Structure 1
Amino acid sequence: MRDTLQQNPKVKYVVIAVALAIHAIAGTGLANMQGITLKKPEPPKPLEITLTTPPAVEPEPIKNDIVEPVKPVEPPKPKVQPKPAEPTPPKPKPLPEPVKPKPLPPPKPVVKEIKPPPEPVKPIKPIEPKPPEPVKPPEKIIKTEPVVDNQKQFEIQRQAEEVKRKAEEAERKRQADEADAKRRADEAERKRQAEADAKRRADEAERKRQAEADAKRRADEAEADAKRKAQNNAPVNVSASEAVWVKQPRFDLKDIGAENGETLTASVKLSVNKQGAITSADIAKSTGYPKADRLIKQQVKTGKLKPFMRDGQPVVGNVTVPFSINVN
């Protein structure tokens, strides 16, 4: 056919004209077709359900007869709408470009699900016990050692000896390292002990030197105290206002030649030690009665003065004290 069209161009032009005419007729028919108006589906009516009690049906005994399976019902084939008859083609007129209507989807066929019939109940066969299987004796496992030639055996032995030699060398090195580490630790311990001993001896020498310094300081302090005490033993002249009696002396002047009730005045120079006791007395101003002066020198020692102080230390003092004595 293709060769014929290529050889006769007139036939080719006729075929093209026929095809164009057919397309024009089909377009005109589609343009003049009335559209199908789709009705709005009515809402579904509510279902009315009435509950009824079915009559009791006795179960029929199951027969061992084989029930023939029910053939499934074939679903109805969907009806195919007939194609509209083609109208008589009118004379072609110049028409505007036809608007192609959207094709409507074909209606889906309603297929009802048909449940297959229940399978017939097969009779239960009794289970026959199986005879015990015979126990097979355990098979003996025979170990087979591979045959190794002498050269391979010698190589394996040499490698084992090499591994053993390296292990022994590593062990000897480990022991040597441990001994060296222990020796260094012992040397460090001895050095630390020597340093501790040297520090202890230095501390002892320092304590001894400190003790000697303390002893010398105490000796110096004792010597200075002795000197100070020696200096304090030198009598110091004090005024009569510093003389404070701790115990007043008691005078008893009798048969001295003076009249009874006469008042005698005298001044006495006293030497007082560090405890305030009177060690000696001399008449600095006489009463005019020698016997009275002797009695005053003796009886004045019955009194005691408060120690005289210099720089916070008691000292030996000389003081001249006036007395007024009534003659009984």
Structure 2
Amino acid sequence: MDDYLIFAPDDVDLRRSPLRRSLTAETYVLGAFNPGFTRLASGNLLMMVRVAEALREPVIGDQVHAIRWEEGRYLLDEHPLTAVNMSDPRQFDVGGSSYRMLALTSLSWLLPVELDSSGRAVIAVHYDRAIAPAASYQSYGVEDARITKVGDRWYMTTCSVSPERHSTTLYTSDDAREWKLEGIVLDHQNKDMIFFEGKVDGAFHALTRPLGELYFAYPEGSDYAGGPSINLARSPDALHWKPIDHPFLRARRGSTSAMKVGGGAQPILTDAGWLILYHGVETRAKVGIYRTFWALLDREEPWKILRLEDDAPLLEANPGLTAAIAHQLYLPTEVVFTTGIADGGDSYVVASGEADLACRITHIPKSRFA
């Protein structure tokens, strides 16, 4: 396999950030990572990079500040330091509620970065096509794009974050350059929604991963571990989704991903079936260890898993890749978070977020999945 970083925080020109329209406070790039990934009609590759833009000095006096979008403006909300927990540099807990409440130390927007056809060089960074909050349900930002081409159209799911809800939103495009916001397609805390790259039995299909604070136990002796898992849903129009009743990809007891699993790259159709790359998490410290695994699904009944490779990871975090920018790491993480795949001839070109900091490209021979 061939691994390298292709885009990192210092590659973002914050003078061209959408936040400059109204925010005067000094900011920096906390991370440029978790890129949606697709091949354009030109043959070049597109990364839709999540830029997490954070306040350089969030604490002023006895107040900590969070960035929030409202009706076209970026505002700073104040929270008393005495009422928050700031042990995690990505967010802080706001006290005084019956439920856990978070505010973010950064606001995320999406930056289109065009690569050459091999994924080895940046061709252009399209600041004029950046995707930023545009609705009240995105007031804390737009995160973690996943892009799939179905037929002649591109579909991009994102996480939209706000006090109203933590939802999955959909953008569509005829060229993967100009995007239209279609609105919310999955409601509160259903993350990692990724369309299959093609229809099954005439319908759109997608991976989903609903979250919650309550899970029910499997019986003793079960192969499975309770907690967040990957489910399937189908839709006639990409807007209205029904969960598929069959259970799907669950964390297994004794595996290195027993904490939770979630979608990664868009499922692509191969001669052997649908190939999916997904992430599994091992419990460790605050964040956990994120690795990439893979599975093959039946082409007609995708809830049937033909092959599951969750013992030896396909990808793991590689500290050597981030050694030159290690001073920018804000958490001690072992995270590779795969977010897209494209056909590269004899290999697949795979895009990932590395260490919640930068964008990683990996060329994986197709023979690896034989």
TM-score range, shorter chain: under 0.3
- Structure with bigger strand share is 2
Q: Could you state the TM-score of these two structures normalised by the residue count of structure 2?
A: 0.15
Larger Rg computed on CA atoms:
1
- Structure with bigger helix share is 1
